[in-house]
């Protein structure tokens, strides 16, 4: 389950690379277009109740997530790619894999393994 939460956070944080105006607190508002609480994947019994990301201007992030099974937190780093997209790398305690995403104004969108996560600042 911790890996699932880390994957959600990692996916979400992807869109938050260390760029001007990207830092701040982001709250997950939907998965697959479904408002929270929502299933992590369409066939999963794990429901995400909340996920908050705090993005630092120094290229770091932290997160706190709650599902119907557990609560967890973690941290990592991110960078901005040449094309403006973002690349996120979770810390070793997160047990997640790197992902990419985008930020448009106050909306952060991330996609991982056909999962689409939308966050708002």
CA distances from 120 to 4, 24, 92, 113 (A): 21, 10, 26, 21
Could you give the CA distance from residue 113 to residue 105 in angstroms, rounded to a whole number? 24
* pLDDT of 18 above 80: no
CATH number of the domain to which 40 belongs: 2.40.128
pTM of the model: 0.78
CA distances from 26 to 45, 94, 109 (A): 25, 18, 11
| Total number of domains constituting the chain | 1
pLDDT digits (tens, 9 = 90+) for 29-88: 999 899 999 988 766 678 999 999 888 999 998 889 999 999 989 899 999 888 888 888
pLDDT digits (tens, 9 = 90+) for 80-112: 888 888 888 889 887 677 777 899 999 999 877
Q: State the residue range of the domain holding 22.
A: 2-120
Model confidence band, residue 9 (pLDDT cutoffs 50, 70, 90): low
Element (H, E) at 5: helix 2-13
């Amino acid at each position: 389950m911790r890996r699932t939460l880390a994957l959600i956070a990692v996916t979400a944080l992807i869109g938050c690379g260390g760029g001007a105006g990207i830092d701040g607190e982001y709250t997950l508002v939907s998965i697959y277009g479904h408002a929270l609480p929502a299933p992590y994947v369409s066939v999963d019994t794990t429901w995400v109740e909340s996920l908050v990301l705090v993005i630092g201007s120094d290229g770091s992030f932290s997160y706190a997530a709650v599902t119907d099974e557990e609560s967890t937190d973690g941290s990592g780093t991110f960078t901005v790619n040449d094309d403006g997209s973002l690349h996120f790398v979770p810390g070793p305690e997160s047990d997640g894999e790197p992902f990419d995403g985008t930020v448009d104004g106050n909306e952060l969108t991330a996609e991982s393994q056909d999962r689409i996560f939308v966050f708002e600042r």
